[in-house]
Amino acid sequence: MYTDNRAQGLTLFWQSIWARAYPRIFGMLRERSWMFFDTFLPLLGTLSYVFVYRAIQAPEEYIGFVVVGGAMTAFWLNMLWSMASQLYWDKDMGNLELYVVSPAPLPAILLGMAIGGLVNTTMRATAIIVVCSLLFAVPYEPGSLILLLMVFIVTMTALYGMGMLFASVFLASGREAWHMANLLQEPIYLASGFFFPVRALGFWFATFASILPLTLGLDAMRQLLFADAVTLRFLPVEVELGLLVVSSVVFISTAMLALAKLEERGRREGRLIERRR
């Protein structure tokens, strides 16, 4: 008697996550030079901003703002290039059709990409924080470490929920995906306040920019890491944490609906982007 031993439900979801995360976690070990370029070269951008603040004799806490912001750029770039653009690249390489016809759910595949990329990105962010903190004697005065960890986890959840949503948008946009990724990179640096307090942009601009998880996440983490950051905050930490939770739910729910629609159309019509007329 035939017995179907194929994974289903949560087991299939978990196995799909691990299968897609595996090559990203262990792939960098096969090319050691990537570890150097991905870990230490991004330090140069952060160092340049530190020296600018030193040259204009900015308050010392701004050095810490730059270090934390420089570390978080790694997560934004990973989300933009290694997750949001991934389905478009997989389509060009011929892998996307395999994902769609396979029983593995697309959200699990994207989540595996995110987890695999998160491991490498954490190494890069840690290198920036450790090296810059030692070189410039950054004066951390951490508050609640539990609250800091909660803010970081919720920020990453909302950020990668946005990445899942962007993956559908970029794929549906066709060849414009590459240009959209390039277009979004630098404006996000400004709107999220990577290298300065977002409050400097003004209340209404900062409110509009709060749709980006990194805007609220960075502001909250700075408040919890630097005592003087409270006077430069945009909103209280508790309010920003609540808004990040809402953002996580909205982005993930919308992304799941978009991916389900994309997958259903791909299987029904045999195409995943609109035909150009």
pLDDT digit string, tens, across residues 199-243 = 888 888 888 888 889 899 999 998 888 877 777 888 888 999 999
pLDDT of residue 267: 64
pLDDT score of 245 more than 90: yes
pLDDT of residue 2: 40
Grade residue 174 by pLDDT with cuts at 50, 70 and 90.
low
- SS3 state at 23: helix
Asked if residues 84 and 180 have their Cβ atoms less than 8 Å apart, the reply is no
pLDDT score of 3 more than 50: no
The DSSP code for 123 is H
The DSSP code for 176 is G
pLDDT score of 177 more than 90: no
Considering just the CA atoms, what is the radius of gyration of the chain in Å? 20
Highest mean pLDDT among 1-10, 193-202, 242-251: 242-251
Range from 43-52, 87-96, 187-196 carrying the lowest mean pLDDT: 87-96
Could you report the per-residue pLDDT of 75-106, keeping only the tens digit for each?
887 777 777 777 777 777 777 777 777 777 77
| The token pair that represents 92 in the structure block | 């060009």
Of residues 46 and 94, the one with the higher pLDDT is 46
Task: Round to whole Å and give the CA distance between 175 and 60.
Answer: 45
The angle that helices 177-191 and 145-173 make with each other, rounded to 10 degrees, is 150
Mean pLDDT of the residues in the chain: 80
CA angle 188, 38, 126 (to 5 degrees): 80
Task: Round to whole Å and give the CA distance between 72 and 27.
Answer: 23
Q: What average pLDDT does the segment 239-261 reach?
A: 89
Q: What average pLDDT does the segment 186-200 reach?
A: 84
Could you report the per-residue pLDDT of 201-212, keeping only the tens digit for each?
888 888 888 888
Of residues 156 and 81, the one with the higher pLDDT is 156
pLDDT score of 67 more than 80: yes
Task: Round to whole Å and give the CA distance between 21 and 55.
Answer: 43
Question: % helix / strand / coil in the chain, to the nearest 5?
Answer: 80, 0, 20
pLDDT of residue 1: 44
pLDDT of residue 9: 65
174: left (phi over 0), alpha (psi -120 to 50) or beta: left
Residue type, 204: W
Above pLDDT 90, what percent of the chain?
Answer: 6
Model confidence, pTM: 0.82
Range from 40-44, 119-123, 211-215 carrying the lowest mean pLDDT: 40-44
